[in-house]
Amino acid sequence: MTEFRLDPRLENDSVPLVDFGLCSVRLMKDGNYPWLVMIPRKNDVTEIIDLAPIEQIVLMEEIGQVSKVLKSITACQKLNVAALGNMVPQLHVHVIARFESDAAWPGPVWGAVPARAYEAQSLEDLVEGLQIALLG
């Protein structure tokens, strides 16, 4: 079996949280928005339709689980869920908690404002809370 290769941009721009049956779940390093990214641990997959039918079902179940946790932890007003891949072709799904008060509301988060680093303690607390909730 070939070892899974994570795109270096995803690796550099995010912090690992948990691995589910299909996806690796990571927190984006952008304190402007609670923003998770889910990467199916399959090499050379760029589109959801590239996954086997059962894997597509598993992906949707995992997106639902991650979405519920993110909404619960953040009490966000809206969740944005998207698989774009224009900049990073490796299949990954964004799950972003949105607030009417966030820097990009109501538009998309991409390019609205520069990424803001989390304060160390804030990042540690968020990672721990997400890991506990996602594994619970």
Q: For the chain, what are the domain ranges? A: 8-135
**pLDDT tens by residue, 96-114:** 999 999 999 999 999 899 9
pTM equals 0.95
CATH topology of domain 8-135: HIT family, subunit A (3.30.428)
Q: CB-based contacts of 1: which residues, under 8 Å, 6+ apart?
A: none
Burial class (CB in 10 A: 0-12, 13-18, 19+), 28: buried
pLDDT grade for 2, boundaries at 50, 70 and 90 = confident
